[in-house]
Structure 1
Amino acid sequence: MDIDWAALGSVFGVGLVTTVTLVGLFTLGLIGLSKQEQASTQGGSATLARTGAYVCFALCSAAIAYGIYLIVA
């Protein structure tokens, strides 16, 4: 059995970068929702925070759907 270490390292690197990116986007979405809630309790408008949070969640959903598509196809 011969292991292609370069390919294994490449898969590990792409998986690590993808995971960190998805977790970062989800975290930014949660921060945006908490800022939106904070601004609404202080009487301000939080449209930008809510929109940014929804964009982050949409990007996470799109990346997950693309990953599932790659697995199934």
Structure 2
Amino acid sequence: MIKIDALYMSLEKINKQMRVYELMDDEPEMKMKALENMIKEFDLIGDASLEGIKEATELLKKIGSEDISKKIEDVSNKIKE
């Protein structure tokens, strides 16, 4: 499942990068690096969230009835489109 601690750590890193970004007035290269770091952290959060959704979906398929599995599959197919 989703590791909440890892998400909080990523959010904290993003907050720190935002503060660093705000403190840099005339350093465009450093500002770009701070923005790149924030994007990487958001990407990690997104990846972790998607993995958690996949795991939760698989669990629902295992414990749910055929009707629930069919609905999950339909939703998954719509998301892929």
TM over 0.5: yes
Equivalent residues of 1:31, 1:53 under 8 A apart: no
Gaps of 5+ in 2: 59-81
In structure 2, give the amino acid aligned to 1:57: F
State the 4+ residue runs in structure 1 displaced beyond 4 angstroms: none
User: What's the RMSD between the two structures over aligned residues?
Assistant: 1.7
Matched, 1:64 2:49: yes
**CA offsets 1:35-57 (integer angstroms, 9 cap, x no match):** 12221xx2112111110011001
Residues in 1 aligned to 2:56 and 2:7: alpha-carbon distance in whole angstroms: 17
Residues in 1 aligned to 2:47 and 2:19: alpha-carbon distance in whole angstroms: 22
Question: Which residue of 2 is the match for residue 44 of structure 1?
Answer: 27
State, as a whole percentage, how many aligned pairs show the same letter.
14
Question: Which protein is bigger by CA-based radius of gyration?
Answer: 2
Equivalent residues of 1:32, 1:52 under 8 A apart: yes
Deviation at 1:19?
1.6
Gaps of 5+ in 1: 1-13
The 3-state SS of whatever aligns with 1:43 is coil
Name the count of aligned residue pairs: 56
